Structure 1
């Protein structure tokens, strides 16, 4: 099915159309249960199969080691800002934070409530780059090293995992580029209950989500991961992400300054392409761009309120055709509006 709408929202984001159609049916009746997936008992065999299927897909796609747990938690990346230090900081009382944007900055601020936070390089004047690792000051006694793989606000992404001191766990927030490329999970760490020592502060109260909502979310995750497998796995997702982002960055770079992406080329995000319209960023021109794009079915392109501009979030479910439509619109808008 071809849609006249291309949805570039940074989150909640677009889901694959075939997954939505399947979920639509199962929202009314899940398989042969005669009840909705939202009505299934969380102790039932049917729901156990949903969780087991989702976990199996995670392990297969990410090559998760057998001694690693797969947890489905509410709260997203933000929920882990406190969970990580509460579970891991007590080992040495200090941690290294690689701050390259809004989300890692928020994570470091939250972690400072529970121990000593070391910023591995001085605070950046603007979040438009990732300093060379040779300049980092990593503490070999840190309880862990934390980084955000993809900063959705500023459009900054690590193209490979950071190198950290031997024996120091690496904790990664990859909530916005998860399952978009192969990752060596054995090099990363999420806290597990078994790792909490007797000296760890009491954990905070569990944030509650209505059980029916939790069931549906895990079911959606499982269906999306099944779709990723059918489409060719993480290697294919990586190939597509590079092709899609290249289409947009090429238009930007060839616009003679009409469009401008502020991020250093090696740190450009494949997931969130940010840019300004007009020399130095023209608010009126950007508003016109976003309005005209929306009239053509190119939706949710407004940049984050903290930085302004335009942002095209091109996650896995965004198709090559979606991105081509946006690229062609950008070319047309340039011709009609350049001075």
Structure 2
């Protein structure tokens, strides 16, 4: 195998080396059973132990209260855009949404099919460079919940603090879950596709307060009811066994790193290096406003599209891969999730300085 590159992809994203190595062994021979994990029955004792450990570690790392269920679902965060309002809204019910980017916009579109949606804030006029503070919007007293996307992979923004509006929060945390401590009790539902910070693509984590399970209208199909999966321990249908197993390995790794407080400090250190490189010269321009910059996804531009293309090409040639920005923003984007090594960030910063010197 060639030398591993530094993978700045926004997702599916880099995983810890130790997780990849262990998974490579267990996909062939799990627990010395003479068969691979993905060949095993999802109802076997061995896989049930995998599922139980993954849930227990998620609960431990996030300090999930006992009155919350942890579900392992499928369909990505995109399926949650409609499952949330399908389960919690209905005729005469209202929800409030904050539009801070593409994925929040998709959630808003889906929610409108199930109830009244109040878009209390939209960042569209300023190209989603900013997320709102509490004094920039209001939430109606009869709103069932306030929905937000905690971190925006495309535009490189995040909520440094979560809203405190006296209402139940629901959050898409796909791109920054497990990157910092979170007070789960402030949320009715937290959901996240695993493929950025928790594991490979294929499993979606949903953390839901138990009392919400009984709000679902009777007309909702069984597979789309949270209660169905909660009652069956995420085993109502065949779960994505390998993806869940990998999530468990990543949770073990996170615990070994010192937990979420330690991971937040590491993420702050890595992001600070890149933002310092951006701010040091007019050659690079960060997309997000400084007070709401993401620690996970750093979007930036160069003076011209031609220089951006050259930057991406030359970076890839020295094993700095996946730096092309999203088509909605253009430019470049460095995604530096939990498992992304500090060494890779340092090499990117060195490359940025050299490239600016040669082309500025």
Residues in 2 aligned to 1:56 and 1:248: alpha-carbon distance in whole angstroms: 34
Alignment of 1:164-313 (within 5 A): 164-165=165-166, 168-190=167-189, 195-197=213-215, 199=217, 201-203=219-221, 214-255=240-281, 257-278=282-303, 282-313=304-335
CA distance in 2, matches of 1:121, 1:327: 35
* Mapped partners of 2:92, 2:177: distance in 1: 29
CA deviations 1:210-250 (Å, max 9, x no partner) are x8881100000000010000011101110111001100000
Q: Distance in 1 between matches of 2:268 and 2:334?
A: 14
Distance in 2 between residues matched to 1:180 and 1:247, nearest whole Å: 17
How many residue pairs are counted as aligned between the two chains?
A: 329
Q: Structure 1 224/91 Cα, relative in aligned 2: closer, same or farther at 3 Å?
A: farther
Partner of 2:137: 136
Q: Which runs of 5+ in 2 are unaligned?
A: 190-207, 226-236
Kept in 1, the 8 Å contact 2:100–2:122? The answer is no
Deviations 1:144-178, CA, capped at 9 Å, x for gaps: 1100000101111001111122xx32101111101
Structure-1-length-normalised TM-score: 0.92
SS at match of 2:71: coil
In terms of mean alpha carbon deviation, does 221-230 or 182-191 score higher? 182-191
Which stretch of the first structure deviates more once superposed, 44-53 or 303-312? 303-312
User: 3-state SS of the aligned residue for 1:24?
Assistant: helix
Q: In 2, are the aligned partners of 1:159 and 1:267 still within 8 Å (CA)?
A: yes
What residue number does 2:194 align with?
Answer: none
- Cα RMSD (Å) of the superposition? 2.1
8 Å contact kept, 1:76–1:175: no
User: How do 1:1-339 and structure 2 match up within 5 A?
Assistant: 3=3, 5-90=5-90, 93-122=93-122, 124-125=124-125, 126-165=127-166, 168-190=167-189, 195-197=213-215, 199=217, 201-203=219-221, 214-255=240-281, 257-278=282-303, 282-338=304-360
Q: CA deviation at 1:198?
A: 6.7
Residues of 1 paired with 2:150 and 2:325: CA distance?
Answer: 19
Give the secondary-structure state (helix, strand or coil) at the position aligned to 2:61.
helix
> Deviation per CA, 1:129-158, whole angstroms, max 9, x where unpaired?
123311212111111110000010111100
Distance 1:331 1:194, change over 3 A: closer
Q: Quote the Cα distance in structure 2 between the aligned partners of 1:65 and 1:198.
A: 22
Q: Distance in 1 between matches of 2:356 and 2:222?
A: 51
Structure with a larger share of its residues in strand: 2
* Unpaired runs of at least 5, structure 1: none
Contact in 2 for aligned 1:156/1:268 (Cα 8 Å): yes
Q: Indicate if the aligned counterparts of 1:86 and 1:200 stay in contact, CA closer than 8 A.
A: no
Where do 4+ consecutive residues of structure 1 move more than 3 Å? 191-194, 196-201, 203-207
Are 2:61 and 2:259, in contact at CA under 8 Å, matched by a contact in 1?
yes
Aligned partners of 2:156 and 2:287 also within 8 Å: no
Judging changes above 3 Å, is the alpha-carbon distance between structure 1 residues 8 and 145 closer, same or farther for their aligned structure 2 residues? same
CA contact (8 A) 1:30 1:36 kept: yes
After TM superposition, give the deviation of residue 205 of structure 1 in Å.
Answer: 5.2
Report how far residue 180 of structure 1 moved.
0.3
